[in-house]
Structure 1
């Protein structure tokens, strides 16, 4: 307990504003901006703790309410999935927060401190004691009614003590309608009307329900805990030829680390070893080890399968692949789905309404219709128990957290419940071409000559002109020349001609590489124009090679399709999602790629044109935009939801609402299917929560059910809702 030891030094940091959930600039109703209250203040200090003892989302609200009442608190948030309490305040109020949370019946600890270990025997002792006392009370009741009645009263008081004590704590911290309060009132009321056996049974069922909720909560958090466990506690760094064991927080980009066979990577790294196999199943779900070559990136948490490897660290502390997934899960509450916000608001008025109905049920029939007081007080107490909102409150966040975790395990990061909800409504997907549908690495596919020089000579001239260029087409030409082992002539006066191409002087003659359409009119004759048109119709990009204003020939290149592009488009079509390609490439090249994939296309688009097309398509039906470059960011923002390729630019990844971290397009259909399944799961959970309560409300008023089943209507519904949400983790 915190009171019996020196208070830990909890995390303190300047608050960096996180992006608030905003609308996606779309022209339909599928975009939902988060209310202003969802944003995080720009000023103040942020503190964080881990909270022990929370069994459900309602517990998280109790902790929030306890801290909200403190002076100088700007914002309070409890992230139930990771058990984290975040507080933003104008001053250092850590002692007050610790005191308030402890008064509410929960324990705080530093994020670096391990959870206090308690034996299952100790945890279950109150429940086992109550079961034994119930058995003894029932036995006495069979032989001697007065003694049995007193035994049930004693059993009730023993079971009531911890619950009533917690209820008083919660009332003091501002939680007036907690389940503990409702349970205490119901048990005491049952004792007063002589329903002693039922009073004891109500408390027993409640404690059983609490244990089931605790188990379900720990099961739901198990995936998050498994992610946290993927990072080793120390790393082996190599510096000046010496190996040293250091903490993960000391690793910096550029450090060289060593990982033994069977060891896990502590940070994202670039492989320095010529090649190695890595088990990435914990992050991707793929059971087959992945072969990585030198200079390829390997995510943190991967396991070196068969050899000692060295890597160069490329991620900052706290920003590895695992950290990003954990941060995404934590920020899910920052970007809550509209349905989740509605349920949260509804549950706040639901309990007081049910309590009012319970009071009216207990008072009106005896006062105005001469009914039995005992009978209707009993029914009122049962209604009181039915009014607990636990199952309703957890119905949405349990499903969303499970959905986000399941997506993350498949290599798809979805930024919160709002994005997950919008993703489930997608009917069309717009794809950028280069780097998304294609590999982004053009290859030389054909070389045409005019007869003056041979194929290798033409390629060598072109490669010499393109030396040093970072343009993908230039690199493809140079790479092809190197693959053929050609000796390149020495160029001079290399320069780029804006809007035309590049040129250089070789052996005293000017050599120009240009798009055919940028050449002077007299350079291409009819025959060459036909040949170039044919190449472009096949989806190839053509570069003309001109020496001293005379055409030497042309080089055709083509960006090859990603290996999974066809399957991805086919999978999307199966689930009713249509695809369209948006590209700045020429219409003939775009038509060839789109025809191969069996999809519609829009070509010759500038970034502004892409935004216009996205707005047009988005106005008809919900549209997702998939891209990887800076020029795709505006269109991704304009769509209902933007999806970035994991290999894309930082701008695209920041702008997007979701990202395919492992660049597998085939996960798109899975993402949408999972989003739809999550939405269905939420509807099922709400139906279970409200349906069971509605049924038992009617049967209680009719006198068919009593206190025992009223407790099951709450605890049972909570367990069912949580178990139903956990099914998403197993979804294939």
Structure 2
């Protein structure tokens, strides 16, 4: 019995290996098949050309084989457009031109046309495939299962079965199965698939981790915070799918133009076949040949290939830097942006206050003031309270739980520490008789610096002053400087108070600061900026930023820290929350616009030059083929330049 089971298992394994091998071969064929067919077509043409007589049956048979092998993919695409959409495209024009040339004895010229056309098509397919692989390679990194810890028992379950609150074990070298928080253990996690960071990030208890990222040498126990379909990884995959399917306005226009242009070329070619022999006494063969040359040189292959390869190359380049465009249209819009509006909290700042100043009044030490304040605040969940407690921990100052704790709603708290009654909160808690001139001056100075002030006091009066402020992100100042260097106007929109906003704006070098804004006010400010500057971008991370992101010409969301609403609304996502990458994205948009303009100008020039040469002097079909298809290959190669990594500063 065991032997039979073993045989069944071995048979299943062998079958799986065969299936994997077949799938791998199909993938290779799909990726390189068009290029292999083009090269095989070229080899067959070379063999046929070496035969002394081009009309020899063997030579003709080889040319027919070259036509079939090299032209199959394009003929299929052209016929599909004709049958399903009842329209013409450039693929059908080229096939008709090649068959037309062969029908009057120009087998070599027709076959060469097929070869070069299929080669340029293979190159374009490679561009699309390369860009697609660069953007969506992270899909291959999607974890399939995780180790669930329940009642002390380890069970391997599909990621779809993981629920919020579950505890999973991640061993060294394994992928993290779901977004979560580390509850036990320490390790370095490679987050490149999510944030683009090349250096692994140390993770310990309390740190957030993301599905699809790779654990290092340590063991981690993680509490699941998002189910599989809601993880950041799943969101990225959805964004990738949108980016691959959405076309920019210029490409949509080009496709409409291609259909109309193809009809016009067919009509003019028919006129060139019939009108000269009937009215100008041309020979039929001569007229037909000139019409075939016209059909080749006037076809818009290079024009059609001017946009999408360049766009996808740029999107691919951005993805490798942690800049995820949701489609080429947004890259196109970004190229025209003149101003950028930033949300403050969580975008330019870290989104959590920290203690910047501790000022004990005469008779008290800094450590004592901080110990008493941290003891009181240890029972509060307010962000300012958490900042004071964190400051005590960082200085290794021990504190203990207070007694008789009471919240003074809107003002602060009061409690007993070591049997003595204390209060901590807003300066307004101080009575007028306890406000000395030096204390008032100190509070006013700190508030002018954009800091929030908390006072620690006992029954006799104030004993210490705490100043807190949301800290500027380390990369924010450099990001603003880089944007100004490329000519961007910078504005900051925040719901924070005017004084704090001005202080942050001054520190970062932002000229236009708008404070005290509700979400609807941010939308109005974005509209005003659009009227003043034209296209503008809005950068944000919170739910309250989503309306403004949608209103802007380009909405930019912080990917790692951003809310679901911001991620869904935005057109561009910064996967590593690095605002410095915004300048890279804008420069990438401008580079892609420049290259597309170069491509279109070059393609049009070649088409017009070849058409003029055909009518004025008459050009040989091989020369027309080389000129036309050569220009197509050149514009694709020009677009491929955007795949190169290039730092702007």
Short-chain TM bin: 0.7 to 0.9
SS in structure 2 at match of 1:265: coil
* More displaced 10-residue stretch of structure 1: 528-537 or 282-291: 282-291
Q: Could you tell me how far 1:171 is from its partner in structure 2?
A: 3.5
Match of 2:9 in 1: none
Aligned partners of 2:404 and 2:41: how far apart in 1? 91
Match of 1:658 among 567, 572, 587: 572
2:407 matched residue in structure 1:
494
CA RMSD of aligned residues (A): 3.7
Is 2:89–2:262's contact at 8 Å kept on the other side of the alignment? no
- Counterpart-to-counterpart distance in 1, 2:376 and 2:637: 65
Mapped to 1, the partners of 2:605 and 2:429 lie a distance apart of 70
The structure whose residues are more often helix, as a share, is 2
Aligned residue in 1 for 2:4 = none
Deviations 1:224-276 (A, max 9, x none): 45222223444444444343444444444444444443333344343344321
Q: C-alpha separation between the residues in 1 aligned to 2:629 and 2:83?
A: 24
Q: Name 2:355's counterpart in structure 1.
A: 444
Q: 1:542 to 1:389 in 2, by over 3 A?
A: same
Give yes or no for contact 1:637–1:656 (8 Å, CA) kept in 2: yes
Number of the residue aligned with 1:610: 522
Q: CA deviation at 1:553?
A: 4.7
CA shift, 1:695, in A, is: 3.1
Measure, in 1, the Cα distance between the counterparts of 2:36 and 2:440.
Answer: 88
Q: CA offset at residue 422 of structure 1?
A: 2.1
- Shift of the 589–517 alpha-carbon distance from structure 1 to 2, 3 Å rule, reads farther
Q: 1:449 Cα deviation (Å)?
A: 5.2
Partners of 1:601 and 1:660 lie apart in 2 by 23
Counting only pairs closer than 5 Å after superposition, residues 7-26 of structure 1 correspond to structure 2 as none
Give 1:292's aligned residue: 203
Change (3 A) 1:175 1:115: farther
Compared CA separation, residues 674 and 443, structure 1 to 2 (3 A): same
Check conservation: 2:159, 2:228, Cα contact below 8 A: yes
In 1, the alpha carbon distance for the partners of 2:151 and 2:220 equals 17
Q: Secondary structure at the match of 1:346?
A: helix
Q: Distance in 2 between matches of 1:171 and 1:326?
A: 34
Q: 1:600 offset after TM fit, Å?
A: 1.7
Contact 1:205 1:708 survives alignment (8 Å) = no
In 1, are the aligned partners of 2:422 and 2:459 still within 8 Å (CA)?
A: yes
Aligned position for 2:582: 668
| Mapping of residues 259-658 of structure 1, within 5 Å | 259-332=170-243, 335-448=246-359, 451=362, 455=366, 458-459=369-370, 462-463=373-374, 466-482=377-393, 483-497=396-410, 501-504=411-414, 506=416, 513-516=424-427, 524=435, 526-545=437-456, 551=462, 553-602=464-513, 604-607=515-518, 608-621=520-533, 622-646=535-559, 647-658=561-572
Residues 119-175 of structure 1: per-residue CA shift (max 9 Å, x gap): 69987886676556534543443xxx5x73544443443444575873656533335
Q: 1:97 maps to what in 2?
A: none
**Paired residue secondary structure (2:345):** helix
Q: Is the 8 A contact 2:89 2:258 kept in 1?
A: no
Question: Aligned partners of 1:606 and 1:677: how far apart in 2?
Answer: 35
Alignment CA distance shift 1:448-1:281 (3 Å): closer
- Helix, strand or coil at the partner of 2:26: coil
C-alpha contact (below 8 Å) 2:376/2:402 kept by paired residues: no
- Superposition map of 1:69-80 within 5 A: none
Deviations 1:343-394 (A, max 9, x none): 2322221211222232233333333333343223212112223454454334
Higher deviation after alignment, 416-425 or 562-571: 416-425
Q: Secondary structure at the match of 2:82?
A: helix
- 1:466 Cα deviation after fit: 4.1
Deviation at 1:445, TM superposition (A): 2.6
Structure 2 counterparts to residues 688-727 of structure 1, below 5 A = 688-712=602-626, 715-727=629-641
Distance in 1 separating the partners of 2:399 and 2:55: 101
Counterpart secondary structure, 1:116: helix
C-alpha change, 1:730 and 1:626, in structure 2 (3 Å) is same
Q: Distance in 1 between matches of 2:166 and 2:301?
A: 48
Q: Shift of residue 448 of structure 1?
A: 4.1
2 CA distance for matches of 1:258 and 1:705? 72
Moved more, 672-681 or 383-392: 383-392
Among candidates 61, 64, 83, match of residue 157 of structure 1: 64
How far did 1:688 drift?
4.2
Give me the whole-angstrom Cα distance separating, in 2, the residues matched to 1:604 and 1:125: 61
Q: CA deviation at 1:280?
A: 3.1
Instruction: Specify the SS of the correspondent of 1:615.
Output: helix
Q: Normalization by structure 2: what TM-score?
A: 0.82
8 Å Cα contact 1:284-1:411 kept in structure 2: yes
User: Structure 1 pair 519/630, CA: closer, same or farther in 2 (3 Å)?
Assistant: farther
Is the alpha carbon distance of 1:691 and 1:333 closer, same or farther for their aligned partners in structure 2, counting shifts above 3 Å? farther
Corresponding residue of 2:55: 148
Q: Deviations over 1:635-661 (max 9, x none)?
A: 333333222223133333333322222
Q: Distance in 2 between matches of 1:602 and 1:123?
A: 55
- Show the counterpart of 2:7: none
Decide whether aligned partners of structure 1 residues 522 and 380 sit closer, same or farther in structure 2, where only a CA change above 3 A counts.
Answer: farther
Distance 2:626 2:230 in 1: 44
- Report if aligned partners of 1:272, 1:310 keep a CA contact under 8 Å in 2: yes
